[in-house]
Amino acid sequence: MNARCLCFTLFVFAQSAFALPLKLWHGYRGGEELAIEQAAKRFTELTGTEVEMLAVPYDALSSKLTSAIPHQAGPDVFIFAHERLRQFHRMKIVAPSDEAFDRSQYLKPAVEALELEGKVYGYPLAMKCLALFVRADRGITAPKTTAEFEALLERFSAPEKNEFGLAYEAGDFYFHAPLLFGFGGVLFDDTGRAQFDIPAMASSLAWVKSLQDRKFMPQEVSGALVKTLFNEGRAVAVISGPWFTGEIDDGIPYSIHPLPVVSQTQLPMRPFLGVEAAFVSSRSTQSALAQSLAKFLSVGEATVARVTLGRQIPAELAAYENETIAKDSMISAFRAVAETSTPTPNTLEMAKVWEPMKLALRAVLQGGVSPQEAGALAERRYRALNRDKPAPTDPTPWIVLLGISVIAFIGWQIRAARGTSFSRRYPEATRGLAYVAPAATGLLILVVIPFVIGLSLSLFHHEAGEYTFVGLANFIDILTSKGYRITEPLSFYFTLAVTLVWTLANVVLHVSIGLFLAILLKEPLLKLRGVYRVLLIVPWAVPNYITALMWKGMFHRQFGAINAILASFGIEPVSWFTQWSTAFAANVITNTWLGFPFMMVVSLGALQSIPTDLYEAAEVDGASKWTQFRRITLPLLKPALLPAVILGSVWTFNMFNIIYLVSGGEPGGGTDILVSEAFRWAFQRNEQYGFAAAYSVLIFCVLFAWSHVTKRLSGQESA
Amino acid sequence: MSKWKMFALHAGLSVVCVATLYPVLWVVKLALSPTQTLSLSANPFPEAVTLDHFRDVLGTTDAQGRWLFGRQLLSSLVVSTATTLVGLTLAVTAAYALSRFRFPGKQSGMQVLLITQMFPATLMLVPLYSILQTLGLLDSIGGLVLVYATSSLPFCVWMLKGYFDTIPKELEEAAIMDGASPGQVFIKVVLPLARPALAVTALFSFMQAWNEFILAATLLNDATRFTLPVALQRYVGEYKTEWGHFAAGALIISAPVMALFFALQRSLVGGLTAGAVKG
């Protein structure tokens, strides 16, 4: 008691003497992380305020911020690129910089990127944009125009030796945007809406495609491949950003240049400029202190640390007068590029561009669609993803309906119970309920209530934190496949068909492989049986997201083990994720690997329960092994196997991790199943929770129907 | 069985085992090779061996110099053990009642258990977040344990109920005749008989909590309280994956579960099917 009192007094004292620690969230790794840590440490030394850091991978950071901050669980300061600013602003999670903000301290485009309705949000830290990296040991003069560039690529490409002029991640719109602008493309029309079906789209795509067709650059380029090719001298030019300097091996000479001018249009390829800034949370309880931390991180020694340790391009002007930084050729080269580039628009419209553009780019590069048709393809996907907000509906009839059904249900229950006394019907009711109560309470609060909320969300439309009641509009849109043909990957029916094929294929493979192995392992004279069994259940023990990432690596086009095995048999490497059939197969292979041990163990248990004298009797009667299997094993296995099959089918139907992490829905969302599609609507397409919930309800309906079918199946069995 | 047949059986099983273990060996190779990138070779054995990746992962510290990996391991252990204990206690009592007693709402309760399994878990995340905030359980180990324990309840209850159904009621009646109280019957007679099913259920609860990623990554905000799967996320970026660190971390995370599996594999066969045979 005393000790507790003492602790409490100390706690109060500490609170009044020092400020609470500030929370800082960021997405940095490696040198960039070291730099920010060092700066935060300096802040603590100077002010006495602790800074608690949390590093979250960049792609997960945004959703963590948008869910944590409104619930008062977020950071005081967070570091993010400016392009989400508008979204953060609409969700009211970011506070404007205070009056002390001095624009003249920073490079102009960096401040402009953080401006919204006349106010500046956050403090600019660093800038990222694309530039041309060239090997400096090959006697190359940096190309000024695309014509010069093509001549250069011609000279250094030797496809038969696996050598290319250029390597860059052509399938990513961030990398394609400068080309689009260079060919005269304008991404947004006068009303601010994204436009795709424009001549520059076709000409820029055609140019990239021609580079690929002339073997000036490899197909399906990933960041890892770019790095390998450049380091091994098998690509003399690379388009990448400041982070690439960390990927280049020591001792390899290189130089950095602005991207060339497009010869046909005489326009420069202007890359997007991303500005990373320290933003102050609108819900920070110590906003003045948070402002001072954010400002501290953006100037002075923090900037120097960022440049020297993190190799980032500083937004602070004074940094360029620092002696070491001024001499740093990489920094000055990127500054030159940055000053001619345009900040990525921080509009909501910009966020809607990525997915359609990714689809179009990949379709063209994989040869499925001509550059001329790609714009229309992107346009269609854009319209499908950004469906119009359904008209709000009056919820009164729904509430009345709900009320009536609840009353009817209670009335029916009372009627059903009438006549028999409660205690006679349920003599052990109190004990039974007492035993169930703890579990039921937990389930009610943490499973049933979220479930009911999830169900009712499907009747709402969600946009930037606001819900509007729209009745059945979400369901109608989904079931009438509004905005796209039924045969397109985005339509509910296409996804449902894929899901069913996926579930069927997996369950059949799981059961047949599992049963087959169980029968082999049952052989009584088999030695080392225990060893085999242990080895074969290994996949079950591996967490399934690790399984998924591991197989994703194995299916890698250039560095994966599967293609290496194929190559050793003289088979051409397969690009697994560019065609529907191979991408689907990759998913199924992964899921089969992780799923067959469960069925094997269940089958083993069930086989052990079959009395051996049945087989002996059959043997005496002269029945063949196959007849024995069909007439004895299978029928007796059924009762044990059926529940496992039902359970397995429900699991597979909702197997999110494998689909999301292995194929990721490639190509073009074709291999997505219903759950992963629902996830995308909820978390990747403007947080349309209502629409996603409607998908979930439909998933639920399908599984519910399935459970009734199986109930009948097992009912017949026991009858 | 003839010698040849036996040989063929061994050969067949060995091939299957190799195919099964190949991906695991491949991860071991990544973890032991000195680079962070994938290497283009079908050979599942590393050409050069280094323990650097393991050293890096095990020795992760944060900016304050605290041993992050140690704390995260502890956090994972606490969460998984607590989930197992809480989940098993809730499941055992509920399953026993569902198997033995008649009370109102029993049938519909069983149905509800099954139905909740059919709604995609990721979509429950949004409401769950608000509920935990209301309860003051956001960003806490306790909250995570409760969520895990309840979300694995339906499966545990179904498994245990199936097993309890196979235990003859006569044993309990005999114990009552001998003067045992209902509580004693439950603890001294029923639970020991259900040991294989308890072991399997415990294994599943533990494994689910140990391996779970999405909920932990969403609900926890303090790096020192992260569970190991969330810690592993560090190495897997959208644009760059540190394959060496990832592989070493993956092996470290998988090892305890594998050890448990091997220790319990005999019960696994019995515990998993005994209940199911009865349906």
pLDDT single digits (tens) B228-261: 999 888 888 766 778 889 999 999 999 998 888 8
How many Å apart are CA A352 and CA A535, to the nearest integer?
47
Q: Which residues of A286-322 are buried (b: 16+ CB within 10 A; e: fewer)?
A: eeebbbbbbbbbbbbebbbbbbbbbbbbbbbeebbeb
Tens-place pLDDT, residues B146-189 = 999 998 888 888 888 888 888 888 888 888 888 888 888 888 88
Residue A223: list chain B partners with CB under 8 A.
Answer: 239-240
Dihedral sign, CA of A588, A590, A595, A597? positive
Tens-place pLDDT, residues A655-676 = 998 999 899 888 888 899 999 9
Mean local confidence (pLDDT), A121-149:
91
Do the Cβ atoms of B118 and A699 come closer than 8 Å? Answer: yes
Tens-place pLDDT, residues A264-283 = 999 999 999 999 999 999 99
What pLDDT is stored for residue B17 in this prediction?
93
Mean local confidence (pLDDT), A128-149:
90
> pLDDT grade, residue A483 (50/70/90)?
confident
ipTM greater than cut 0.85: yes
Tens-place pLDDT, residues A499-535 = 999 999 999 999 999 999 998 988 877 888 888 988 9
What pLDDT is stored for residue B62 in this prediction?
78
B255: tokens are 């090892």
> pLDDT grade, residue A422 (50/70/90)?
low
**Does the pLDDT of residue A555 top 50, yes or no?**
yes
Threshold 0.90, pTM exceeds: no
Instruction: Say what percent of chain A tops pLDDT 70.
Output: 95
Mean local confidence (pLDDT), A86-92:
88
Q: Check B119 against A523: CB less than 8 A apart.
A: no
**Does the pLDDT of residue A384 top 90, yes or no?**
no
What pLDDT is stored for residue A126 in this prediction?
93
- Strands A267-268 and A254-257 come out as unpaired
What count of other Cβ atoms lies within 10 Å of the Cβ of residue A409?
10
Nearest to B101 among A432, A443, A546 (CB): A432
Using alpha carbons, select from A698, A642, A638, A665 the residue that is nearest to residue A580: A665
- Is A392 an 8 Å CB contact of chain B? no
Contacts of B139 (CB under 8 A, 6+ apart): A73, B219, B220, B221, B222, B225
Task: Tell me the average pLDDT of chain A.
Answer: 87
Residue B9: list chain A partners with CB under 8 A.
Answer: 520, 523, 526
Using alpha carbons, select from A666, A676, A673, A677 the residue that is nearest to residue A368: A666
- Is A544 an 8 Å CB contact of chain B? yes
> pLDDT grade, residue A5 (50/70/90)?
very low
Nearest to A639 among B12, B116, B279 (CB): B279
What pLDDT is stored for residue B107 in this prediction?
78
> pLDDT grade, residue A11 (50/70/90)?
very low
> pLDDT grade, residue A613 (50/70/90)?
confident
The H-or-E segment that residue A164 falls in is strand A164-167
**Does the pLDDT of residue A719 top 80, yes or no?**
no
- Is A412 an 8 Å CB contact of chain B? no
Residue B273: list chain A partners with CB under 8 A.
Answer: 602, 605-606, 609, 640
Tens-place pLDDT, residues A183-240 = 999 999 988 899 999 999 999 999 999 999 999 998 888 888 898 899 988 999 999 9
Using alpha carbons, select from B195, B220, B231, B175 the residue that is nearest to residue B60: B231
Using alpha carbons, select from A496, A586, A43, A456 the residue that is nearest to residue A448: A456
Higher pLDDT residue, A102 or A30? A102
What pLDDT is stored for residue A418 in this prediction?
66
- Is A339 an 8 Å CB contact of chain B? no
Selected for mutation to probe chain A from B123, B190, B203 (highest A CB count within 10 Å) is: B123
**B94 to chain A: closest CA residue:** A436
Find residue A235's DSSP bridge partners.
A164
Q: Check A67 against B218: CB less than 8 A apart.
A: yes
- Is A358 an 8 Å CB contact of chain B? no
How many Å apart are CA A370 and CA A353, to the nearest integer?
20
Contacts of A631 (CB under 8 A, 6+ apart): A618, A623
**Does the pLDDT of residue A472 top 70, yes or no?**
yes
| Chain B: closest CA distance from residue A601 (Å) | 6
Q: Check A73 against B273: CB less than 8 A apart.
A: no
Using alpha carbons, select from A346, A293, A308 the residue that is nearest to residue A26: A293
What pLDDT is stored for residue B1 in this prediction?
60
Task: Tell me the average pLDDT of chain B.
Answer: 85
- Is A716 an 8 Å CB contact of chain B? no
B148 burial via Cβ count (<10 Å: 0-12, 13-18, 19+): buried
**Does the pLDDT of residue B124 top 50, yes or no?**
yes
> pLDDT grade, residue A141 (50/70/90)?
confident
Which one of A123-132, A698-707, B214-223, B238-247 scores highest in mean pLDDT?
A123-132
> pLDDT grade, residue A153 (50/70/90)?
very high
**Does the pLDDT of residue A84 top 80, yes or no?**
yes
Using alpha carbons, select from A562, A595, A592 the residue that is nearest to residue A577: A562
Do the Cβ atoms of A641 and A714 come closer than 8 Å? Answer: no
**Does the pLDDT of residue B276 top 60, yes or no?**
no
Residue A64: list chain B partners with CB under 8 A.
Answer: 217-218, 221
Residue B92: list chain A partners with CB under 8 A.
Answer: none
Using alpha carbons, select from A452, A599, A435 the residue that is nearest to residue A511: A599
3-state secondary structure of B168: coil
**Does the pLDDT of residue A718 top 50, yes or no?**
no
Using alpha carbons, select from A50, A74, A29 the residue that is nearest to residue B222: A74
Phi, psi of B139 (to 5 degrees): 55, 35
Do the Cβ atoms of A88 and A112 come closer than 8 Å? Answer: no
| Chain B: closest CA distance from residue A705 (Å) | 11
Whole-number Cα distances in Å, A536 to A529, A565, A600, B18: 11, 22, 9, 9
How many Å apart are CA A564 and CA A554, to the nearest integer?
9
Instruction: Say what percent of chain B tops pLDDT 70.
Output: 95
What pLDDT is stored for residue A51 in this prediction?
92
Q: Check A564 against B41: CB less than 8 A apart.
A: yes
**How would you classify residue A507: left for phi > 0, otherwise alpha for psi between -120 and 50, otherwise beta?**
alpha
Q: Which residues of A663-683 are buried (b: 16+ CB within 10 A; e: fewer)?
A: bbbbbbbbbbbbbbbbbbbbb
Mean local confidence (pLDDT), A42-69:
88
How many Å apart are CA A679 and CA A669, to the nearest integer?
12
- Alpha-helical (H) ranges within A69-158 are 85-90, 108-113, 146-156
Q: Which residue has the tokens 């669609």?
A: A369
Nearest to B6 among A23, A40, A525 (CB): A525
Tens-place pLDDT, residues A301-317 = 999 999 988 889 999 99
